[in-house]
Amino acid sequence: MAVIEQPVQLEIYNLLRAALSLFKKSPYELAEAELSQARTQAVNEFRIESKVLNTPEAAAVIITEQELQQAYQEIQGRYSSEDAFLGDLEKNRLDKDSLLAALHRQCKVNTVLELVAGREPLLVEIKSEWEPPDMRFLQGIAALSAAYKGPLALMSFDPAVMKAIKELAPGVPRGIVSGLYEGPGWWRDKLDEKRAYALSHFLESRSAAPDFYAYDVKALPTPVTRFVREVLDLPLFTWTVRTPEQRAIAERWADAPIFEGYEP
């Protein structure tokens, strides 16, 4: 079994949730590789939750004592006795107070998401390290996507990830992210020239049956992006637009920009 240490800036409850979601086991039951995977998911979830809790909408949300106790009792009710419940909390480095604090945070995040659901479409990128897709992880994403009440689309650089999403969440719009795959930051330690060419020209995307594409704004226009828009009539996003000049390129050669650090 792996040795569990306090993760930096990460609540233990997030790690427990990730372990149960991925492996149906508590963190102390995981092998080292499994624990590492659970930590990665927990860190990502914690960061997203922190951003949600820093929004203006979150400042107005109040979780009542009744809501908090209901969430606590729902977890407690899964155990045959109070001793079994408290014993499992201790094994997971939790106690009643820390669990209540974590549940308060989770309830607040859920409430904020319910409040803002549907106001703006969500465009979510699924990261890839170019290994075979982790189906447990993707099943979790598919379940969350199905439960989300607002407009949502998923996308990834990795066509294999989107092929899996096609099977797990066929009703959720999906897209392929790409660019020229030249220079630093393009996984050239994992992708050879032949694979990079195929990815930059969407040659692996057929099995994913994407509903849209997203291409690096610094590369626009290209023959393949023009083909996607003008022949296939599929939407083309472009990333990442940070300047007025790049916005002008996006307006000419794409259907919608993905902004960062720039107020249009």
> For 182-229, what is each residue's pLDDT tens digit?
988 899 889 999 999 999 999 999 999 999 999 999 999 999 999 999
- The model carries a pTM of 0.69
How many residues can be counted in the chain?
264
Residue 3 scores a pLDDT above 60? no
Q: How confident is the model at residue 4 (pLDDT cuts 50, 70, 90)?
A: very low
Question: How is residue 248 written in tokens?
Answer: 């002008």
| Residue 119 scores a pLDDT above 90 | no
CATH 1.10.10.10 for domain 122-259:
no
Average pLDDT over residues 241-254: 96
Phi, psi of 213 (to 5 degrees): -130, 160
Mean pLDDT computed over every residue of the chain = 90
C-alpha 27/C-alpha 17 separation (Å) is 9
Q: Give per-residue burial for 55-68: e unless 16+ CB within 10 Å, then b.
A: eeebeebebeeebb
pLDDT in tens, 55-94: 888 999 999 999 999 999 999 999 999 999 999 999 999 9
* 240 upstream amide cis, omega within 30 of 0: yes
Name the residue with higher pLDDT: 22 or 196: 196
* Continuous H helices in 125-215: 135-147, 159-168, 193-200
Would you give the DSSP letter of residue 216? E
- In three-state secondary structure terms, 44 is helix
Biggest distance spanned by C-alpha atoms of the chain: 66
Is a pLDDT exceeding 80 seen at residue 262? no
Euclidean distance between CA atoms 82 and 161, whole angstroms:
42
Residue ranges of domains in the chain:
12-116, 122-259
Mean pLDDT, range 237-248, rounded to an integer:
95
**So what's the pLDDT on residue 200?**
98
Whether residue 34 has pLDDT greater than 70: yes
